[in-house]
């Protein structure tokens, strides 16, 4: 089947199988570098994208589901070459080491701060429960998100 959707603001058309996941199509067919394959089973958050503004694991989403929809990866948060506030905050707070978890972390933080601009620590930890990081110990990530919340 052929599907059409917006990817980070650009129109995309691609042939997919009914069983293809969105993650497979983004990485293998379109060559997107701003999503990562981690567990492939909805446990790590490395593959997260926004679909019509809602957080989704692209490893658990069939590609056909996004036909006619809008998919945003972390790359789509920058505007005219300018990083978004949350992306800058991750850089400033050394919140990315290997960077594998970073796309999902940033998208999760963006959605959280849109809903709740001043989250408590508990709300932050709850929001990040679906995103695993093996490098940072989470503290720099929490600091980055809090720094945006303070602004």
CB nearer to ligand FES: give 1 or 39: 39
φ, ψ (nearest 5 deg) of residue 141: -65, -45
CB nearer to ligand FES: give 96 or 124: 96
Min dist CB 86 to ligand FES, Å, is 15
CB nearer to ligand FES: give 38 or 76: 38
Residues forming contacts to ligand FES in the complex (CB under 6 A) are 37-40, 42-47, 57, 59, 96-101, 133-136
Which residues, at least 6 apart from 123, have a Cβ–Cβ distance to it below 8 Å? 112, 116
CB nearer to ligand FES: give 79 or 88: 88
Min dist CB 108 to ligand FES, Å, is 12
CA 107/CA 102 separation, integer angstroms? 8
Min dist CB 55 to ligand FES, Å, is 11
- Show the tokens assigned to 146: 């809090």
Min dist CB 54 to ligand FES, Å, is 15
Min dist CB 16 to ligand FES, Å, is 18
φ, ψ (nearest 5 deg) of residue 79: -125, 125
CB nearer to ligand FES: give 1 or 98: 98
Helices (H) and strands (E) in the chain, counts: 5, 5
Helix/strand/coil (H, E, C) string of 33-86? CCCCCCCCCCCCCCCEEEECCEEEEHHHCEHHHHCCCEEECHHHHCECCECCHH
């Amino acid at each position: 089947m052929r599907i059409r959707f917006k990817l980070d603001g650009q129109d995309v058309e691609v042939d997919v199988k009914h069983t293809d996941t969105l993650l497979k199509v983004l990485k293998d067919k379109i060559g997107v570098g701003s999503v990562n394959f981690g567990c492939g089973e909805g446990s790590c958050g490395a593959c997260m994208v926004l679909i019509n503004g809602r957080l989704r694991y692209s490893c658990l989403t069939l590609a056909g589901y996004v036909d006619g929809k809008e998919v945003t990866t972390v790359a789509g948060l920058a505007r005219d070459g300018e990083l978004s506030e949350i992306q800058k905050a991750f850089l400033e707070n050394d919140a990315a080491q290997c960077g594998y978890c970073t796309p999902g972390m940033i998208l999760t933080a963006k959605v959280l701060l849109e809903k709740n601009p001043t989250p408590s620590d508990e709300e932050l930890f709850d929001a990040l429960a679906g995103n695993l990081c093996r490098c940072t110990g989470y503290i720099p990530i929490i600091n980055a998100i809090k720094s945006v919340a303070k602004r």
